[in-house]
Amino acid sequence: MTPATTTISRHLSEEQVRLPDWTRAILELLNSFALVGKIISREVSRAGLSQGLDENGSQNSQGEQVTKLDVLAHNLICHVLSHSFQVCIMVSEESESPLEVPDNCSRGNYVVLFDPLDGSSNIEINASVGTIFSIYRRISIDGKGTIGDCLQAGIKQVCAGYILYGSSTMLVYTMGYGVHAFTLDPYIGEFLMSHENIKIPARGNYYSINEGSAKHWTAGIADYLDSLKSVRSTRPPTLRYIGALVADFHRTLLSGGIFLYPANTHYPEGRLRLLYEAAPLAFISEQAGGRATTGSERILELKPKTLHQRVPLIIGSWEDVLDLEKFILQARSKAA
Ligand code: F6P
Ligand code: MN
């Protein structure tokens, strides 16, 4: 078998010929995330030996414990993106306000929103974590970039992706022309194309949810899961939940099925953040033929009101997500 040889840089240059709205800026930004992915991958793989696991003693604006690796990933991404000269403003899970590009870096026309280290508490137990990113074109004409540039509906994304630091490190992205994945070969330090034009199976056998909150789920969710378990009695569905969104989503993307983080009493708006968790994964899911919804609204059409807004997220195989939406609709009309 011929080994994989298409590097991410070569793939991106080839896309230049194929894609009508290809821009050098997106190439620079994706190359920036490839670089960041390699560096974070190195740090994550050594975290048990260094102090990367230690909490740095603070909480972020979302009330979550911040580890030293969260801070490293956040600072690294801000630095690399600023030096790409393609960005006018950035949003990170680790910063309450938008981040300006420093004065010594020229500004570009793009807005980048990111979750530097998703599921970072998983590092303590040597399980998977990830980085998620979402890229928009600015709507302001010039200057530093505005909050309005950051609060665009997901449908306006020009590119989205994630890096999974798992048993191997993978970068998955879409520019609106399919979903492609690259696996890091640590021996040559290159991301090589491993999955071209990924499609989510229309149905899957996995469901992924934190069942500890079952008592507090919104109406329809429990009914759907009950039916899932009884209808397919010949092959019962399998529960898989890692607790790091990137890893749970990645399995759903490749193997099919459904991932859910509905609203509950502890997180009445849902737990996951619209701008840098739900919207980029929704873009990838739809590009792979899947579906992403709050239960009643398409994630990509939501117009964000605040930077760290949370949403219920139901994402994955088209038919499975559709089935769940029917249960939610039924439960709502019964209650009305
Ligand atoms: O970023 C939030 C996050 O860590 C996700 O990666 C993950 O899907 C979710 O929280 C897990 O939440 P819980 O521990 O409530 O199941
Ligand atoms: Mn996260």
- Could you tell me the CATH number of the domain that includes residue 288? 3.40.190.80
pLDDT, residue 57, reads 63
In a domain, 86, yes or no: yes
Residue 210 Cβ contacting ligand 1 at under 6 Å: yes
pLDDT band at 325 (very low <50, low <70, confident <90, very high): very high
Q: Is the pLDDT of residue 191 over 60?
A: yes
Residue at a domain's end among 195, 230, 250: 195
State the Cα–Cα distance between residues 33 and 132, nearest whole angstrom: 10
- Name the closest-CA residue to atom 4, ligand 1: 119
As residues whose CB is below 5 A from the ion ligand 2, the structure lists 115, 118
175 and 228 share one domain: no
State the Cα–Cα distance between residues 207 and 96, nearest whole angstrom: 32
The pair of three-digit structure tokens given for residue 254, joined into one six-digit string: 């490749």
Residue 119 Cβ contacting ligand 1 at under 6 Å: yes
pLDDT tens, residue by residue, 79-138: 999 999 999 999 999 999 999 999 999 999 999 999 999 999 898 899 999 999 999 999
Residue 249 CA: which ligand is closest? 1
Residues forming a β-bridge with 241:
none
Residue 118 Cβ contacting ligand 1 at under 6 Å: yes
148 and 190 share one domain: yes
Residue 145: closest CA among 106, 202, 195: 106
DSSP state of 261: E
Determine the residue of 118, 128, 269, 275 to mutate for testing ligand 1's pocket, defined as the one with the most ligand atoms within 8 A of the Cβ atom: 118
CA 122 to ligand 1 center in whole angstroms: 10
Mean local confidence (pLDDT), 12-28? 91
Domain that holds residue 304: 206-335
31 and 175 share one domain: yes
| Atom number, ligand 1, closest to the C-alpha of residue 93 | 1
Residue at a domain's end among 151, 170, 195: 195
Beta pairing class for 258-261 and 291-293: unpaired
152 and 191 share one domain: yes
State the Cα–Cα distance between residues 182 and 99, nearest whole angstrom: 29
Residue 116 CA: which ligand is closest? 2
The pair of three-digit structure tokens given for residue 190, joined into one six-digit string: 């290159």
pLDDT band at 234 (very low <50, low <70, confident <90, very high): low
325 and 242 share one domain: yes
Phi-psi map region of 189: left, alpha, beta (phi>0 left; psi -120 to 50 alpha): left
CA 117 to ligand 2 center in whole angstroms: 7
State the Cα–Cα distance between residues 315 and 203, nearest whole angstrom: 12
- Name the closest-CA residue to atom 8, ligand 1: 245
Mean local confidence (pLDDT), 226-240? 82
| Angle at alpha carbon of residue 288, lines to 282 and 292, rounded to 5° | 30
CA 118 to ligand 1 center in whole angstroms: 8
Residues forming a β-bridge with 233:
none
The percentage of the chain sitting over the pLDDT mark of 70, rounded to a whole number, equals 97
Phi, psi of 117, deg, nearest 5: -140, 90
In a domain, 200, yes or no: no
86 and 159 share one domain: yes
Residue 245 Cβ contacting ligand 1 at under 6 Å: yes
- List the CATH number of the domain containing 75: 3.30.540.10
**Number of independent structural domains in the chain:** 2
Measure Cα distances from 96 to 91, 119, 275 in Å: 8, 18, 13
Amino acid in position 60: N
State the Cα–Cα distance between residues 94 and 57, nearest whole angstrom: 14
Mean local confidence (pLDDT), 218-234? 85
Residue 212 CA: which ligand is closest? 1
Residue at a domain's end among 174, 195, 216: 195
171 and 299 share one domain: no
